[in-house]
Chains A and B, each alone.
Chain A
Amino acid sequence: MVHGELWTVKELFVLPNEYIYWSIQIVMYPFMTGLVAGAFVLSSLYHVFGIKQLKNMARFSLVFSFALLPVAMMPLMLHLQQPQRGIEVLMTPHFTSAIAAFGIVFSTYGIIVASELWFVYRKHFVETALSLRRKADKNPLDQVKHLFFSALTLGAYDVSEGALHQDEKAVKILAGIGIPVACFLHGYAGFIFGSVKANALWMTPLMPVIFIMSAVVSGIALCMLTYIVVMEIKKFNVRRAQSSASNLPTSEAIKGIELNEIRITARYLLFFLLFAISLELLDLIFRGYTAVKTWDILRSVIYGKDFTDIFILQYGVGNLLPLILFLWPRLTIRRALVGVIFVLFGVFMMRWNVVIGGQSFSLTFAGYMHYHLPIIPRNWETFKEGLAGALMVAATPFILFWIFSKIFPVFSQDAEELP
Chain B
Amino acid sequence: MISRRDFLKNAIKGIAGLSIPLSVIEIASPRKIFALNDVKAGVRWAFLIDTHKCVGCGLCVKACKTENEIPYDANVTRTWVERYVHLKDGRDFADTPKGGRDGFTTSKIDLGEGHYQNIDEKDIDKAFFVPKLCNQCENPPCVQVCPVGATFQTPEGVVLVDRSWCIGCGYCIMACPYGARFFHPVLHVAEKCTFCYHRVNRGLKPACVDACPFGARMIANIKDPGDPVTKIIMTERVNVLKSEYGTKPQAYYIGLDEEVR
Residues of chain A touching chain B, judged by Cβ–Cβ distance below 8 Å, are: 1-5, 9-19, 21-22, 76, 79-83, 85-86, 88-89, 92-94, 96-100, 102, 192, 195-199, 362-367
Contacts and interface: CB of A to CB of B under 8 A. Distances in A.
A15 B185 contact: no
Interface of B: 74-77, 80, 92-96, 98-99, 111-113, 132, 141, 143-149, 165-171, 173-183, 185, 188-189, 245-246, 261
A245 to B, nearest CB: 55
Contact of B148 (A9, A15, A89): A89
The residue in B92, B146, B246 that gathers the most chain A C-beta atoms within 10 A of its C-beta is: B146
A11 B145 contact: no
B144 to A, nearest CB: 5
A88 B167 contact: yes
B94 A82 contact: no
B94 A198 contact: no
A83 B167 CA distance: 7
Nearest to B144: A96
A82 B188 contact: yes
B148 A93 contact: yes
Contact of B94 (A2, A102, A364): A364
A17 B75 CA distance: 7
Contact of A11 (B94, B112, B143, B169): B112
Contacts of B95: 13
A198 B183 contact: no
A389 B74 CA distance: 26
Contacts of A86: 167
A93 B146 CA distance: 9
B99 A16 contact: yes
A99 B112 contact: no
B183 A97 contact: no
Contacts of B144: 96-97
Contacts of B167: 80-83, 85-86, 88-89
Given A2-B185, A3-B183, A85 B141 contact: no
Given A82-B189, A196-B175, A16 B149 contact: no
B186 to A, nearest CB: 10
A1 B185 contact: yes
Nearest to A293: B244
Given A15-B80, A17-B180, A365-B261, A79 B75 contact: no
Contacts of A363: 177-179, 261
Contact of A196 (B94, B98, B166, B174): B174
10 contacts: A1-B74, A10-B112, A13-B93, A15-B132, A15-B179, A16-B96, A21-B183, A22-B174, A197-B246, A363-B261
Q: 8 smallest A-B Cβ distances: which pairs?
A: A81-B168, A94-B149, A99-B147, A15-B179, A198-B177, A17-B182, A16-B99, A3-B183
B188 A81 contact: yes
Contacts of A99: 145, 147, 169, 171
Contact of A16 (B75, B145, B147): B75
Contacts of B176: 198
A15 B110 CA distance: 12
B188 A3 contact: yes
B258 to A, nearest CB: 11
Given A2-B182, A81-B170, A13 B94 contact: yes
Nearest to A193: B174
A12 B183 contact: no
Contacts of A19: 182
Nearest to A202: B174
A16 B171 contact: no
Given A3-B185, A94-B147, A15 B168 contact: no
Nearest to B96: A16
A135 B127 CA distance: 89
A45 to B, nearest CB: 33
B98 A16 contact: yes
A132 B97 CA distance: 73
Contact of B183 (A4, A76, A83): A4
Contacts of B188: 3, 81-82
B145 A80 contact: no
Given A2-B74, A2-B76, A11 B96 contact: no
Contacts of B98: 16
Nearest to B97: A16
Contacts of A80: 167-169
A197 B174 CA distance: 9
A416 B10 CA distance: 63
A23 to B, nearest CB: 10
Nearest to A365: B261
A310 B261 CA distance: 27
A100 B146 CA distance: 8
Contacts of A18: 179
B261 A88 contact: no
The residue in A11, A100, A192, A197 that gathers the most chain B C-beta atoms within 10 A of its C-beta is: A197
Contacts of B183: 2-4, 21, 81
A2 B174 contact: no
A198 B261 CA distance: 12
Nearest to A26: B170
A89 B150 CA distance: 11
Given A10-B113, A363-B177, 5 more contacts: A2-B182, A12-B112, A15-B80, A85-B165, A97-B144
